[in-house]
Each structure stands twice: as structure tokens, then as C-alpha cells.
Structure 1
Amino acid sequence: MSLRFAPFVHVASCTWFLYDYVLNLDEEVQFIWFYGRRRSPYDYAYFVIKIATLIALIAGLITVGAGDISGQRCKNIGILMGTTGTVVTVCADVLLIIRVHLMFNCNRQLLLVNSSLYALVCVSAVTIDVLEGPSPQDFVSLPSPSGSCHVRLRQPLAISWILGAIYHAYLTALVLVKYREAYTRLEQLGHRVSMLRLLVDGNIKFFFTVMISYAATTSLTCSSTMDQDGAYNLLTTTTIAIFASKLIRNLRHKLHYGNNDPDLSWMSDLGIQSSIMFATPGDEAMDLWDRRARDDDVEGLASPT
């Protein structure tokens, strides 16, 4: 990506973030007030993601709008944007791991495997950043139409993004397993449900969007030697922040309503427990699936031919 497009990345990220906030203002208000004043870790993660993303966006706009900034200030802004981006990314990744954990009926072994793999990815990324990350000399103040602050990219940095993309592809594959299971179960019960409807109602789109954002940033980092300070990272940070916020609202919504979730009332109308897409602790979901399938088989045998 040419540097002349970098300011548009900053402006587009900021516009998208603000547009999404206004578009979903009613959900924002509901999230803050509807579930009561008692706060949960989801609430704190929600506010941290929102605030950190806003800080990163403001810092990015400063680098675009300022006419001349010293190299040291460019470095400080780069560190600030990198730190806030890391906070947002880690919060979102933990939420995705929790989402998979709940979808698989709180399988502890799977949670341990996913957490261990993520820890390995984080350690590898930190090691690469420490060894190959930008030095103070890599932050350059070059007044230009694309902004003042630029940073030279070292190609090994792309490895950390590649690891992140692979890990999120793995999480997405796990979600697809559960997704396919839900679709197969519905077919066994004689109910044909649109794959798209199952995808939207299960909010699996979050996993795909985050994975795509990682892939895009990886591609940009691999193909460039210079970045308008934080533009590539900001693109991913904004995407993850928007969809992580939606995921948190979805998590709180599902945990609040449980199996009476109005968004999945169509499954309840069919006598099917919606936790196949958002599992609650225990094996009740699968037991209900099995009982329902057995009942349908018995009814089928008892019905006249």
C-alpha cells in the first residue's frame, strides 16, 4: 500500500468506528444500563476496548494532521498506538477463546489447549517484536501529504501477524465444526434452516471478520517497507474493536437470557435448545438434542405409513 493512502486508512478507521458507535447507540445504552449496575469482567473489557481504540484513533489522526513532528514524538506516538492496539487485540482474543469454550459446552480440555496455544503465539510475537521491532532510528519524521510520522518495517515483524492469522484460522475452524454440527442436528430433526441464518444468529461472523483483518494486516506488512505510523495496525485494531464490542454485547445478551434468548426464539419454537450455538455449562444441551432426536424417531415409528 502506497504511503499516500495511509491518511485515508486513518480517516476511514475513525469514520467506521464512529459510524458503528452511532448506528448501534441503542445497543450501547442497553448494554450499559439494561443488565443492572452490577459490573462483570465483560463490562470492564468493553470499556477498555472502547477507550483504547479511541486513544489509538486520536493518535493516528494527529500523525496525519500535524505538519511537522520530531522523531522522538513519532516514536512516542508509535509506542502509544502499539500499546493500545495490543490491549484491544488481547481483550478480543480472550473473548474469542471464551466464545469457543462456551460453544463446546465449557470443555476444559479444549480451553486449556486454546489458551496454551494463544500463550505460545503471544510469547513468540513478543520475542519477535523485541528482537526485530523498530528501533528509535526507524521512526522518521518526514513532512509529506501522507503525514509526518513514518516507521520502517522489518520483514520479520510479519511473522507475528502470520502466527496470529494462523491461530484465528484455527479458532474459526473449531467454530465451523460446531456450526456444521448445529446444521446437521437440525436436518436430523427434519428442519431445514438457512446456513446464512444459522451463521448470523450464532454470530460466527465475528470470527471470520477478525481472521480476515489479521490476514489483511499480514499482507500489508509483508508487502511494505514503510508504514505511516501505525496505519496498518490501526486498521486491524479498529476492526477487532468494533466486532469485539459486538461480541461482548452478544455474550452478555446470551448469558442474561440463556435458553430463552429472543434472538434464537425460532429454535425454541422448534423445541430445540439454542445453546447448540451458544452452550451453557453442563451437558444439558446435548442431552436435550439427543432426547428430541429419540422422541422424533419414536413418533416416526408410531405414525401410520
Structure 2
Amino acid sequence: MADKLAQAIALSISAKIPLYTSLASLTWVLHDYLVTVRDEARYIWVSSAFQTGPWNTGKFLFFWIRYYTIMLAVFDVAQIHSFSRFRPSLTTCVVMDAMIRVVGAISLWAIEIIMQLRIYALFHCSKRVAMVNAVLFLASIGVFLWILIHNGLGRAAVIKDAKALPIPGCPVVHTGIEWAQWVPATAFEGVLFAFAIYTSVESMLERKRTGERKSGLFSVVLEDNIVYFFGITCILVFNNLMVVNVTHIPWFSYGPFHAATGIMTARMLIHLRKASTETPSPSMGFMPAGYSQSAAIQTMEWRSMGVTCIEEGF
């Protein structure tokens, strides 16, 4: 009896933490939206850089990330707070656990598509690089789904005893190989980060060799890529460490992770759109060796994720 009481108290305390972090995450997302909506209106809604009509792939992906992040933050708050007021069934908890991961993964997958487009452009529209990234991307999705199904099939048995306790909501209990759930995405982000580092080093060596010191869209893309990939990789690694309890930090839901990735990506795209608007079109900034300025102007334009190849496409 004492053990069950202690378990009920521990689970009850663990369930209260996401109540606060989910609200903080939603507040963060809404605050960032209000802070940046003027730039969004100026550089995204009516940007003259869109030469293909009112809508294209880049604009669609931006709005998807921007507003899906807000909806995801609202979903987190609604789900966590509503479940804290009653005792959902065992089946409901199992289904909701999988759903939470899927809706979060959809956001991350969209972000990874954006980053693949940027890597593709930086590597001279290399179809080989695009194909490698696409195969690894699909593989990461496949492994993610396999782990999700594997954990889902065994979750009911794992949380059955905890569900029998007189506490509301779904118990915060990690299942099976749940620690590996985001490892595929983390590994793929590591690959993209390696591509970004390679391009950055190549550019740095070329500048050192030629003595040129140029700035422009290419430099902006490089800098944003390094900052973003480092940030998102740290977030995913921290997420994995929390699941296996290495950090000894109580689980505080996916809300902060959803907010951080969405905000980082939206700001990155607005920043690049702003740089494109303010940078004269003849000056694309420094390009790697063998990539002439005229070729850059012909093959790179502000369309999709800032510097997406026109003629080659993705």
C-alpha cells in the first residue's frame, strides 16, 4: 500500500509539471509571433522576391511551419489540461501517446524538408546530395514509425498498473525503447549539420586563399544553417537524455521542443527573406570555388527557402 501511495504521489507531481510548461510554451510562441508579425507581413506576405505568383513552395512551407507551430502549442495546452481533469481510459492514453509524437514529428519533418532544400542549394543544386539526403530522410521516418509502433504495442501493459491508481490523466511512464524515438531524427540532423559544416569550411578556406571578404545571401544561409543545425541538434539530444533520465530533469512535455523548433525556423526564414530584400541582386556574396557569380545569379534566387535553385529544382 505504501509503495502504491508513493507511486501515485510521484506520478501526480510529474503530471503537474507539463501543465505549466505547456502554457509557457504557448505564451512564448504567441509572443514571438507578435514580435515578428510585422517582418512577416513585410518580407513574406508582399515580398517582391516572389516571382512566381502569390503562392509557391517556399511560401507554403513558411506558413505551414509558422501557423502549425501555433496550432501545435494550442493542442499541447488543450490536451494536457483537459486530461488533467478526468481519468481517460487505458486505450485513450495509448492512442494519445502515439498521436502526440506524430503531430510533433510532422512539424519536425517539415522543418527537415526546408533544411534539405537549403543544403541542396548550397551544394550547387547537386542531385547526388539531394538524393542522399532524401533517402536518409525517408529512412529516418521509417525507423521513427517502427519504434512508434513497437512502443505502442507494449505501452498498455507498461502503464496498466499506473492507470489503476486514483490519479487523473495519463501517467508519465516511459515505454520500452522510447529513448530511441527521436534518435533517427537526431542522426539525420547530424548529417545535415555535417553538410553545413563542410560548406562553411570550404568557403572559409576559399576566402583565405583568395583574400576576398564578401557577404551576401550565401553567407547568411551558411551562418543560419550552422546556428540552426547546432540548436536543433542540441534540442533533440536533450530530449533523448530527458527520456532516459540522464539529466535528472522531470519530463516537462514536448511543448518547449515544439515551440523552440518552430520559432527558430520561422525566424531563420524571415531573416533570410529580409537579407534577400536588402541585398542587391548582382551581389550574391561569396560562393565556393568553381561557382561563378554569373552562374550563381542564374541558378539561385529567392524562391523557396531563400536560396533555392530554379532550373534544377528539388
Q: TM-score range by the shorter chain?
A: 0.7 to 0.9
Question: Is the aligned partner of 1:17 residue 2:35?
Answer: no
Question: Is the aligned partner of 1:107 residue 2:107?
Answer: no
Q: Deviations over 1:178-220 (max 9, x none)?
A: 11122222222325689xxx67873121211111111111111
Residue 235 of structure 2 is matched in structure 1 by 213
Distance 1:46-1:192 versus aligned 2 partners, 3 A rule: closer
Distance 2:221 2:123 in 1: 18
Equivalent residue in structure 1 for 2:86, among 69, 73, 88? 69
**1:34 is matched by which residue type in structure 2?**
S
Residue 173 of structure 1 is matched in structure 2 by 194
1:102 deviates by 0.7
1:98 deviates by 0.9
Alpha-carbon contact 2:203-2:287 (below 8 Å) kept: yes
Alpha-carbon contact 2:242-2:250 (below 8 Å) kept: no
Question: Is the aligned partner of 1:188 residue 2:209?
Answer: yes
1:159 deviates by 1.5
Alpha-carbon contact 1:42-1:252 (below 8 Å) kept: no
Equivalent residue in structure 1 for 2:45, among 32, 48, 61? 32
Alpha-carbon contact 1:50-1:241 (below 8 Å) kept: yes
**2:186 is matched by which residue type in structure 1?**
A
Distance 1:150-1:41 versus aligned 2 partners, 3 A rule: farther
Q: Matched residue of 2:254: which SS?
A: helix
Structure number with higher relative contact order (C-alpha < 8 Å, ≥ 6 residues apart): 2
Equivalent residue in structure 2 for 1:58, among 54, 71, 74? 74
Q: Matched residue of 1:244: which SS?
A: helix
Q: Matched residue of 1:203: which SS?
A: helix
Distance 1:285-1:216 versus aligned 2 partners, 3 A rule: farther
1:83 deviates by 3.1
Residue 222 of structure 1 is matched in structure 2 by 244
Q: Among the aligned pairs, what percent are the same residue?
A: 15
Equivalent residue in structure 2 for 1:44, among 60, 63, 66? 60
Distance 1:190 1:57 in 2: 47
Distance 1:136-1:226 versus aligned 2 partners, 3 A rule: farther
Structure 2: gaps (5+ residues): 1-12, 297-314
Distance 2:291 2:132 in 1: 20
Q: Matched residue of 2:171: which SS?
A: strand
Q: Deviations over 1:250-282 (max 9, x none)?
A: 56567xx4xxx635x7x94xxxx42638x9xx9
Please give the residue correspondences for 1:54-203 in structure 2 after superposition, counting only pairs within 5 Å.
54-66=70-82, 67-72=84-89, 74=93, 77-133=96-152, 135=155, 138=159, 148-191=169-212, 202-203=223-224
Alpha-carbon contact 2:69-2:259 (below 8 Å) kept: yes
Q: Deviations over 1:10-47 (max 9, x none)?
A: 12321221121122111221212324661012222223
Q: What is the count of residue pairs matched by the alignment?
A: 266
Q: Matched residue of 1:274: which SS?
A: coil
**1:96 is matched by which residue type in structure 2?**
M
Q: Matched residue of 2:224: which SS?
A: coil
- RMSD between superposed Cα atoms in Å: 3.7
Distance 1:148 1:181 in 2: 52
Distance 2:118 2:222 in 1: 14
Please give the residue correspondences for 1:249-268 in structure 2 after superposition, counting only pairs within 5 Å.
249-250=270-271, 257=276, 262=278, 268=283
